[in-house]
Structure 1
Amino acid sequence: MKLKETILKDCFIVEPTIFNDERGYFYEKYNQRKFEELSGLSGDFVQDNISKSSYGVLRGLHLQKGEHAQAKLVSCLEGKVWDIAVDLREDSPSFGKWIGVELTEENKYQLYIPRGFAHGFAVLSETAIFSYKCDNYYNKESEGGIIWNDPDLAIDWKLPPNDIILSEKDKAMPKFKAKNF
């Protein structure tokens, strides 16, 4: 496993070591000790979530606020997604900036997203199975988010706008300037 820094402070890509042979492959998806040694961060994850979505589904931009904020380690187990992290920490040098990372079943990359970030992804393949490891439990009352097409963030979701499929909740998210975080 190795970590690749991104332009966002404390947000990084986790690249696994993959062992391939004629039978298939093997890789260690998560090792708390290695994660903590490489990142200097706590790797205490308490909740795993899985979602399955079809092409064009855009989930996000979501976050948990206050004491229920969550760091996430996300990956795509099947298919391909364009994963987005937005730094919402006002004291951060990368506040208001975002990155996009293609997570696929082939590259097996994971994205570590610290607390204080919004997160979302768009499905680029026919279907995708997406995995989230979270370091805090979900709390409905602490939900927050930002509208997917916020003009100040100007996120490129890698999908034609007419192909994007949103939940009613995601259609109603506030703009970045509303600071619903």
Structure 2
Amino acid sequence: MTPAPDPDWLYHHFEAAGPAEAVAAFRAAAAGPGLLPWRLDLPTLEEDWLHLMLAAPPQQRGISLEGARILAGQLRDAVAAQQGRVEALAASSRACPLDLHALIPVPAEVLALGPDHAEARDWLWRAWGTPRPLRHVQPARGSAPDALRLRFWSADWSPWAALQRMRERFPALRFKLSPIYEEAG
């Protein structure tokens, strides 16, 4: 199944509970930047943006050919700078307490496909159960040494495949994942 490029976001409560040492090991393994270091094809993106800006007939568009080239280049440079920041964070940040990429890394050949590629989304769907990294992962009330409680948003579905892998990798822990279907305030 290929998930939709524009997902629906589902709110969840998550808990990993058990012996304090096992919870600490899980916390250490699960923490990461919360983002994926996709390899973007910047020349192709620049060309795509140029073509989008020039799609309308010259008398109907608000930008000249030269202006479109300049703007497409500026967009490419901005995305390249952002990509550099993402790569730096991916190498060092542990700000996200439940980073699926930290637990179940996306292979380099999948990252090379880019975030919009159907095969990349399929891999994420099969490996994680959701086609995007989790968003807004935050501690929930009641976290303690013997329990990690979080809340987050996931794309299109619960990260059921990732949860199965967590259970296999951390058998001393009990995992609970609850989607919340009413409005999450």
Q: How does the TM-score come out when normalised to structure 1?
A: 0.23
Larger radius of gyration: 2
Q: How does the TM-score come out when normalised to structure 2?
A: 0.23
More helix by share: 2
More strand by share: 1
